[in-house]
Structure 1
């Protein structure tokens, strides 16, 4: 059976959501963050060298990195569901948003959160770095004005990866999304999915999903 090592308030919620969408059996092992540092506890850091979430066990295999885990599960256990093949008309959109999630939006959100913590203020570099997150949100808003999901008409792995920086990541890098109506509508669409509701109830039983 698949085992998901889930760190509270982390990207590992993506894996839980995917497994619920695929209706795959799994065991969830939940770890609380260190109350002082708000980082992973020593037990979680001991799971693998880099010490970050998520971590997935599949028999003797231990896999990390949310993008890698999502791709592995989709193709190894999910019969390719939530993926697109080359030649599909929206294949390039699917690839772009899949990689934009961790390649551009997450780094921008993390940098923005660090700049705020360090009191970047009027420093030109700090302003430039924070502007990247503004641009990312503008790009997401423009995309979701035209399609219900990132790859087009149907939920895909691109949504599994893109949702986290729009929701839980805002606990670390606060963002007012009241000026983004398409993003708000998208979050409500995802929030209405039974699999997402089940996933968040299991992954974060004491926290309401950040869907507004």
Structure 2
């Protein structure tokens, strides 16, 4: 009887120990120190398509709150705070910062060249490092990744990509931010007829 009680006590102790194991929390982007009541958690699986995700991020931001994507894996919680502007952006970063998602796979900006997720660390250094001026210095001011997709596309593959991206970013041990934004693919529009006529008469 005493043996059974001892075994039962050990099982309870082990169960309590496992349940009390804490997750390591990692944050990416801004803000980290804002009031938690202003942070709105998002799960990619809840969105039927990419357009609804972009709309929701913009809606949260433009109502003075902060969207937060939460990924839990291997005892690590990764919080991604997407950057978003209610007003149209006044700049367009170089194409190297873009990742175009089609059919659940990441491609280099507007190409058919698939991104090898095993090489994300070098891609962070070469393509995602952001410099405000035209002459890059030794250390980037931040890292910028712009995820883009068509509105009607699903969100498959994005969570896995972001999980791998943040893990590789951690290995850089950088002291600057990893900023991630979600944009829609801008459709190509032909020039207005007036411009076409000028080309033919010029």
Q: Normalising by structure 2, what TM-score? A: 0.30
**Highest CA radius of gyration, 1 or 2?**
2
The structure with the greater share of residues assigned to helix is 1
The structure with the greater share of residues assigned to strand is 2
Q: Normalising by structure 1, what TM-score? A: 0.29
